[in-house]
Amino acid sequence: MLLELAYTLAEHNRYMKELEKEEPKAFEWLKKLEPRQWCRYAHNPDLKCNMLLNNIRETFNAYIKEARDKPIITMLEMIHIQLMKRFHNKRDGMRAYSKDTEEDRNC
């Protein structure tokens, strides 16, 4: 079912009716949640592009490529180390940035 991917309220309602017939408990649980938490139709209209969603997923999957086939704990540790290295490099890069930004504050 493509309920969470519905672009319009009408499409969302159609999928919800199907869900209510097939899985009443899931339907009741989802009704309690705010649609903006999980429904595409309720998100910012500027973000309703599959390309954006695919790019984020593809970027993340490429980023964790080496860790993906490891046991879960090892995978999480590898991702943690990778992120810590990235944060460290970004912080060092910002510390090395010497341009005076005082004049740019009122742009």
Domain that holds residue 77: 50-96
Per-residue pLDDT tens for 4-60? Answer: 777 788 888 999 999 999 999 999 998 898 888 788 778 766 655 555 456 777 888
DSSP codes joined into one string, 66-99? TTTTS-HHHHHHHHHHHHHHHHHHHHHHHHH---
**Co-location of 59 and 30 in the same domain:** no
- Between CA 39 and CA 18 the distance in angstroms is 16
Residue of 58 and 107 predicted with greater confidence: 58
**Co-location of 24 and 37 in the same domain:** yes
For residue 107, being part of any structural domain is answered with no
